[in-house]
Amino acid sequence: MTETDPLARTRRDYDRVADIYDDMVRHGREDALATGMITAFATLVSAECDSGVVLNAGCGPGHWTDWLDRFGVSASGVDLSPGMIDIARRYRPDLSFEIGSLLGLPAVDATVQGVLAHFSVIPYTA
Protein backbone atom coordinates (compact mmCIF):
# COMPACT_ATOMS: atom_id res chain seq x y z
CA MET A 1 0.00 0.00 0.00
CA THR A 2 1.16 3.51 -0.75
CA GLU A 3 0.30 6.78 0.96
CA THR A 4 -2.03 7.62 -1.94
CA ASP A 5 -3.91 4.37 -1.33
CA PRO A 6 -7.12 5.11 0.63
CA LEU A 7 -6.62 2.04 2.85
CA ALA A 8 -3.07 3.06 3.75
CA ARG A 9 -4.17 6.60 4.54
CA THR A 10 -7.09 5.39 6.64
CA ARG A 11 -4.85 2.96 8.54
CA ARG A 12 -2.26 5.68 9.18
CA ASP A 13 -4.84 8.24 10.31
CA TYR A 14 -6.62 5.86 12.70
CA ASP A 15 -3.31 4.66 14.12
CA ARG A 16 -2.45 8.30 14.89
CA VAL A 17 -5.64 8.90 16.87
CA ALA A 18 -6.15 5.43 18.38
CA ASP A 19 -5.51 6.44 22.00
CA ILE A 20 -7.58 9.62 21.75
CA TYR A 21 -10.46 7.75 20.09
CA ASP A 22 -10.33 4.99 22.71
CA ASP A 23 -10.49 7.55 25.51
CA MET A 24 -13.45 9.26 23.84
CA VAL A 25 -15.57 6.13 23.36
CA ARG A 26 -14.73 4.47 26.69
CA HIS A 27 -15.73 7.46 28.78
CA GLY A 28 -19.35 7.89 27.80
CA ARG A 29 -19.05 10.03 24.73
CA GLU A 30 -21.03 7.63 22.54
CA ASP A 31 -24.53 8.84 21.91
CA ALA A 32 -27.71 7.26 23.19
CA LEU A 33 -28.96 6.62 19.65
CA ALA A 34 -25.92 4.44 18.86
CA THR A 35 -26.35 2.52 22.10
CA GLY A 36 -30.04 2.00 21.37
CA MET A 37 -29.43 0.78 17.83
CA ILE A 38 -26.72 -1.64 18.89
CA THR A 39 -28.88 -2.89 21.76
CA ALA A 40 -31.69 -3.57 19.28
CA PHE A 41 -29.24 -5.36 16.97
CA ALA A 42 -27.90 -7.49 19.84
CA THR A 43 -31.44 -8.31 20.99
CA LEU A 44 -32.43 -9.45 17.49
CA VAL A 45 -29.29 -11.57 17.09
CA SER A 46 -29.85 -13.15 20.52
CA ALA A 47 -33.49 -13.93 19.75
CA GLU A 48 -32.84 -15.38 16.29
CA CYS A 49 -29.57 -17.28 16.81
CA ASP A 50 -28.79 -20.03 19.27
CA SER A 51 -25.07 -19.77 18.64
CA GLY A 52 -22.55 -18.16 16.38
CA VAL A 53 -20.47 -15.05 16.35
CA VAL A 54 -21.18 -11.46 15.41
CA LEU A 55 -18.36 -9.83 13.50
CA ASN A 56 -17.72 -6.24 14.51
CA ALA A 57 -16.31 -4.93 11.23
CA GLY A 58 -14.28 -1.79 11.85
CA CYS A 59 -14.22 -2.50 15.57
CA GLY A 60 -11.84 0.31 16.50
CA PRO A 61 -10.62 -0.14 20.09
CA GLY A 62 -13.13 -2.96 20.61
CA HIS A 63 -15.59 -1.17 22.86
CA TRP A 64 -18.67 -2.42 20.98
CA THR A 65 -17.20 -5.93 20.63
CA ASP A 66 -16.74 -5.92 24.41
CA TRP A 67 -20.27 -4.57 24.87
CA LEU A 68 -21.79 -7.28 22.64
CA ASP A 69 -19.94 -9.99 24.56
CA ARG A 70 -21.14 -8.61 27.89
CA PHE A 71 -24.68 -8.47 26.46
CA GLY A 72 -24.38 -12.21 25.80
CA VAL A 73 -23.61 -12.18 22.08
CA SER A 74 -20.38 -13.89 21.05
CA ALA A 75 -18.39 -11.31 19.14
CA SER A 76 -15.09 -10.85 17.39
CA GLY A 77 -13.58 -7.75 15.84
CA VAL A 78 -11.62 -6.72 12.79
CA ASP A 79 -10.11 -3.32 12.07
CA LEU A 80 -7.74 -1.84 9.51
CA SER A 81 -5.71 -0.06 12.21
CA PRO A 82 -3.09 -2.09 14.11
CA GLY A 83 -3.16 0.62 16.79
CA MET A 84 -6.88 0.09 17.36
CA ILE A 85 -6.47 -3.69 17.46
CA ASP A 86 -3.64 -3.36 20.02
CA ILE A 87 -5.97 -1.38 22.28
CA ALA A 88 -8.84 -3.85 21.81
CA ARG A 89 -6.59 -6.79 22.67
CA ARG A 90 -5.25 -4.98 25.72
CA TYR A 91 -8.77 -4.50 27.14
CA ARG A 92 -10.16 -7.90 26.12
CA PRO A 93 -7.39 -10.42 25.45
CA ASP A 94 -10.00 -13.18 25.69
CA LEU A 95 -11.83 -11.99 22.55
CA SER A 96 -10.68 -12.39 18.96
CA PHE A 97 -9.45 -9.21 17.27
CA GLU A 98 -7.77 -9.23 13.86
CA ILE A 99 -6.17 -6.63 11.64
CA GLY A 100 -8.02 -6.59 8.34
CA SER A 101 -10.06 -4.68 5.82
CA LEU A 102 -13.78 -4.59 5.19
CA LEU A 103 -12.82 -5.30 1.59
CA GLY A 104 -11.70 -8.78 2.61
CA LEU A 105 -13.21 -9.78 5.93
CA PRO A 106 -11.63 -12.71 7.79
CA ALA A 107 -14.82 -14.75 7.79
CA VAL A 108 -16.05 -17.39 5.40
CA ASP A 109 -19.48 -16.72 3.89
CA ALA A 110 -22.38 -17.75 6.14
CA THR A 111 -20.17 -18.33 9.22
CA VAL A 112 -21.28 -15.34 11.28
CA GLN A 113 -24.70 -14.56 12.68
CA GLY A 114 -24.44 -10.86 12.04
CA VAL A 115 -22.11 -8.02 11.15
CA LEU A 116 -21.92 -4.77 13.06
CA ALA A 117 -20.27 -1.96 11.08
CA HIS A 118 -20.84 1.05 13.32
CA PHE A 119 -19.07 4.14 11.90
CA SER A 120 -16.99 1.81 9.72
CA VAL A 121 -17.91 2.74 6.17
CA ILE A 122 -15.88 5.73 5.08
CA PRO A 123 -16.62 7.12 1.62
CA TYR A 124 -13.56 7.87 -0.44
CA THR A 125 -13.29 10.70 -2.92
CA ALA A 126 -10.21 11.47 -4.95
Strand, helix or coil at 70? helix
Q: Is this model's pTM higher than 0.95 or not?
A: no
pLDDT by residue for the chain (126 residues), tens digit each? 455 688 888 899 999 999 998 888 877 666 778 889 999 999 998 887 766 789 999 999 999 999 999 999 999 999 999 999 999 999 999 999 999 988 887 766 667 888 899 888 766 655
Q: Which of 62, 57, 54, 114 lies closest to 83, judged by CA?
A: 62
Residue 22 included in any domain: yes
Residue 103 carries which DSSP code? G
CATH number at residue 76: 3.40.50.150
* Residue 107 maps to a domain: yes
Question: Does some domain include residue 126?
Answer: no
| Distance (Å, whole) CA 73 – CA 75 | 6
Number of other residues whose CB lies within 10 A of the CB of residue 36: 10
Establish if 78 belongs to a structural domain.
yes
Q: How many domains does the chain have?
A: 1
Q: Is residue 125 part of a domain?
A: no
Domain that holds residue 69: 6-116
Q: Are 22 and 79 in contact (CB under 8 A)?
A: no
